């Protein structure tokens, strides 16, 4: 028994030693402004948080300021198309968020924050600059119809055609523009360099990409704005290696302006 206790204590000390390891140092090549990091809690709404975060940063870079409520999207979800995924009924893709705000609109984070209790009523109006709007009217100034492109790389399907990505989260059967991976990577990197965020999705999670960085060895990373609060050593940001980002990528969302940026302006 005493030996087991000693072994257990040694393991605890080793774990504590590992937890005190200083975080990795990164140098930012690009870091875009963003709204405060939100917290999705126990929900499976990362797709909504990531897409809204992308829209928010896009607006900041236009000289505008919007901070949008994912909780509103959560409350509208039962009124939207029912998800066939019974185990994960909240799972979806970034295109679902765009579709939903085109149908139900969106409201500000200040009136319906992450910690909003269930008895806090869903706003019927959005008040801005002394004017009153419905959530749908407000959404027209936040995200114009067809403002964003939904992109993927699915090598088994024809390139530069829209394809349905066969993953469970795509229960709406949305079709995404199929782009060769090297071209898609070039477009994402160019968008970030010219101060446009993008939304990234894998099979398990979605985050807004708000920058590019490298470590002390020169290894490239993407700076992601996560939706798990300010956890971790980087206050809610995630530094994902370029290799992992592109290996795990299922979908990318960016504005048409970012995708079709005039190369002559580089």
Which 8-state DSSP code applies to residue 122? P
pLDDT, one tens digit for every residue, the chain (266 residues): 444 434 444 444 444 444 456 789 999 999 999 999 999 999 999 999 999 999 999 999 999 989 999 999 999 999 997 777 778 899 999 999 999 999 999 999 999 999 999 999 999 999 988 899 999 999 999 999 999 999 999 999 999 999 999 999 999 999 999 999 999 999 999 999 999 999 999 999 999 999 999 999 999 999 999 999 998 999 999 999 999 999 999 999 999 999 998 754 54
SS3 147: coil
Residue 51 CB partners (closer than 8 Å, separation 6+): 94, 97, 98, 199, 206, 208, 253
pLDDT in the model for residue 23: 83
User: For the chain, how are helix, strand and coil distributed in percent, rounded to 5?
Assistant: 35, 20, 45
Residue 248: enclosing H or E segment and its boundaries? helix 242-248
31-67: string of b/e by CB count within 10 Å (b at 16+)? ebebbebbbbeebbbbbbbbbbbbbbbbbbeeeeebb
Q: How far apart are CA 148 and CA 104, in angstroms?
A: 17
The answer to whether residues 230 and 236 touch, using CB atoms and an 8 Å cutoff, is yes
CA angle (245, 54, 159) in 5-degree steps? 55
In 3D space, the residue among 176, 106, 177 whose CA is nearest the CA of residue 143 turns out to be: 106
DSSP state of 68: B
Residue 209 phi, psi dihedral angles, 5° rounding: -95, 120
């Amino acid at each position: 028994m005493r030996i087991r206790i000693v072994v257990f204590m040694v393991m605890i000390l080793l774990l504590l030693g590992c937890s005190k390891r200083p975080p990795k140092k990164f140098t930012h090549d690009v870091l875009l402004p963003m709204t405060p990091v939100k917290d999705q809690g126990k929900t499976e709404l990362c797709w909504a948080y990531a897409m809204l975060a992308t829209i928010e940063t896009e607006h900041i870079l236009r000289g505008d300021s919007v901070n949008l409520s994912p909780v509103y999207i959560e409350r509208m979800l039962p009124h939207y198309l029912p998800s066939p995924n019974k185990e994960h009924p909240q799972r979806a893709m970034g295109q679902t968020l765009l579709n939903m705000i085109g149908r139900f609109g969106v409201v500000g984070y200040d009136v319906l924050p992450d910690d909003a209790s269930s008895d806090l009523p869903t706003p019927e109006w959005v008040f801005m600059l002394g004017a009153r709007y419905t959530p749908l009217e407000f959404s027209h100034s936040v995200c114009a119809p067809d403002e964003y492109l939904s992109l993927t790389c699915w090598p088994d399907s024809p390139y530069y055609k829209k394809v349905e990505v066969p993953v469970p989260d795509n229960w709406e059967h949305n079709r995404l523009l199929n782009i060769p991976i090297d071209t898609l990577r070039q477009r994402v990197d160019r968008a970030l360099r010219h101060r446009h965020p993008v939304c990234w999705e894998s099979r398990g999670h979605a985050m807004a990409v708000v920058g590019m960085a490298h470590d002390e060895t020169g290894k490239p990373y993407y700076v992601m704005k996560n939706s798990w609060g300010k956890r971790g050593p980087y206050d809610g940001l995630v530094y994902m290696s370029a290799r992992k980002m592109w290996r795990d990528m299922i979908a990318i969302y960016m504005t048409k302006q970012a995708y079709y940026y005039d190369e002559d302006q580089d």
